[in-house]
A and B are shown apart, each in its own frame.
Chain A
Amino acid sequence: GAGVSQSPSNKVTEKGKDVELRCDPISGHTALYWYRQSLGQGLEFLIYFQGNSAPDKSGLPSDRFSAERTGGSVSTLTIQRTQQEDSAVYLCASISPEDTQYFGPGTRLTVL
């Protein structure tokens, strides 16, 4: 497709379960960000992948959060032992060579 896609669009899970969120960036974009947006908040940086460099994980809120990017393309964000405060919209963005971010539609995560 032409844009960034994310799946699932909505995820409802029970506290303590693990979830995996997927991002398919635009083909050819070498950099990718994950953000989350909690209710009434701005976009909170989580993790940044750039080419083959080690990812910048400085925004991950706890060790329950991890992300990987396979083959420099698809990325998955995994949250283990989910907590209610993890409820948010998780957005990924792939970065064009001109340094413009193209966002996916997001995954709305609800932890009951």
Chain B
Amino acid sequence: DQQVKQNSPSLSVQEGRISILNCDYTNSMFDYFLWYKKYPAEGPTFLISISSIKDKNEDGRFTVFLNKSAKHLSLHIVPSQPGDSAVYFCAAKGGTYKYIFGTGTRLKVLA
């Protein structure tokens, strides 16, 4: 049972445009959400997080939005750059649950 779902395995975006990566979760106990970025042959690196008391967190070009009623979060990257091309994982934790990761979305930013 996939508690954290990233339904789009891949996404292509033109350089300079907005990239929107989506993530859905099923467990209402989750109260902390994170996005990680992974380049080939490297481990994931932390990008941005949000706790359930907020609905938006911004860090430079990266903004994470949380819609608790829909159990949905999204990562917006604007403007997208070729160096943003990577696999993006969302993760959630809360209650007694450890970090649960989605299956990832491969973002390709086209120059």
Contact = CB atoms under 8 A, between A and B. Distances in A.
Interface of A: 4, 6, 33, 35, 40-45, 48, 56, 59, 91, 93, 99-106
Chain A interface helix/strand/loop/mixed: strand
Given A42-B4, A43-B89, A101 B46 contact: yes
A91 B44 CA distance: 9
9 contacts: A41-B103, A42-B4, A42-B104, A43-B89, A44-B101, A45-B99, A91-B44, A103-B44, A103-B45
B99 A4 contact: no
A59 B101 CA distance: 13
Nearest to A43: B101
Chain B interface helix/strand/loop/mixed: strand
A64 to B, nearest CB: 21
Given A42-B6, A42-B89, A106-B41, 11 more contacts: A33-B99, A42-B103, A42-B104, A43-B44, A43-B89, A59-B98, A91-B43, A91-B44, A101-B44, A105-B41, A105-B43
